[in-house]
Amino acid sequence: MIRPHRSLGLLDRVLRILFPGVLFLLLNGCSSVSYYSQLASGQLQLLRAREPVARVIADPQRDQKLRAHLVQSQKARTFASQQLHLPDNQSYRLYADIGRPYVVWNVFVTPEFSLKPQNHCFPVAGCVAYRGYYSQSAARGEAALQRMQGMDVSIGGVEAYSTLGWFNDPIMNSMMGWGDERLATLIFHELAHQRVYVKDDTEFNESFATFVEQEGTRQWRAYRSLPPVNRTQEKQRGQFIQLILDTRTRLEKLYTLPLPPEQMRQRKAEAFEQLRAEYRQMRDEQWAGDKRYDAWINAPMNNARLLPFGLYDQWVPAFAALFRQVGGDWVKFYAWVERLGAMPVEQRKAALKALKSSDI
């Protein structure tokens, strides 16, 4: 019989008493007490739902498919620390069933004629380009309020997030819907945030974690003697993302023009139609009609829907170039990433641009 994790139980007891009060003290003077209240209660519920993965695996009464997934997850978790040099702690050695498909729903907001996100600042994470809600209905309510104010809004469900090492983050049921490899990539991504995190720079943090996820997955497959990730699908994904980034660039230039609102709206709509036309041409002429991204491209379009692509993918090529530059040495790579993170923001962006455009 596996005994309860004593340190976990002690931490939970302490957090039940201290966590809400500490959060409110940290956020004193910030807006919307109700918003931060749901953050505190949501995080606390998540922490209280954790249990050791080993206990779940050893329990014959638990779902067999769940236990099998968790066995594979722990192999990836060990690989993350031993081979990718990501933090070696209890994160992702715990499990939590949160009873919903996503842990949070992020609400992205931009002005109608701008790609600048509406940022929100927190004591630990700094400023990020979205607001997270533990309830989908609450996220929809916030989105409706923002639309009434004329803003562009998008809602995205999130499978996992990192508390940046403040707590031992669990594997959640929301992380397990796409199979063992997707679960491994999420573990790599979220542990990367624990390894390096720069306050107030979402593009840097998410692009870094996305690169670690992608390179980590390549190495994880090689470690298990599996063939490389489908190169065709990987190439198509890169082309699709580049189309969206190119559209962002066109819109950014458009929004600098001194046009009246009606004309600006028309030109904005034309830019989105150009994106759809370029996508369909590429799909039909280069992808043999593969319709993987049709649902996304055919949905209603606005500035906020483009935000995650700029945030999560903008600097991935720069980090890939840096990784090659250090000969694929993870320790040296993280050291250089930390140096980049310590730079003033404009100097950091200049360095990333140079890396992105390099041939190395």
- For 216-258, the pLDDT digits (tens) are 999 999 999 998 877 888 889 889 999 999 999 999 999 999 9
| Predicted pLDDT of residue 26 | 41
Buried b / exposed e over 138-153, threshold 16 CB at 10 Å, is bbeebbeebeeeebbb
Q: DSSP code of 177?
A: T
| Predicted pLDDT of residue 233 | 84
* 222 vs 39, residue with greater confidence: 222
User: Which tokens belong to 305?
Assistant: 């829907």
**d(Cα 77, Cα 187) in Å, to the nearest integer?**
7
User: Which tokens belong to 43?
Assistant: 């995080």
**d(Cα 218, Cα 212) in Å, to the nearest integer?**
10
* 359 vs 62, residue with greater confidence: 62
* 6 vs 275, residue with greater confidence: 275
Contact 307, 106 (CB under 8 A): no
User: Which pLDDT band holds residue 33 (cuts at 50, 70, 90)?
Assistant: confident
Q: What is the mean pLDDT of residues 324-347?
A: 97
User: Which pLDDT band holds residue 273 (cuts at 50, 70, 90)?
Assistant: very high
Residue position matching structure tokens 């990539």: 185
The least confident of 34-38, 224-228, 270-274 is 34-38
| Predicted pLDDT of residue 34 | 82
The least confident of 12-21, 32-41, 103-112, 325-334 is 12-21
| Predicted pLDDT of residue 123 | 64
pTM over 0.75: yes
Q: Is the pLDDT of residue 360 over 60?
A: no
Q: What is the mean pLDDT of residues 83-112?
A: 96
Q: Is the pLDDT of residue 343 over 70?
A: yes
The least confident of 117-126, 139-148, 180-189, 298-307 is 117-126
Average pLDDT, the chain: 89
Other Cβ atoms within 10 Å of 336 Cβ, number: 17
**CA–centroid distance for 238 within its chain:** 17
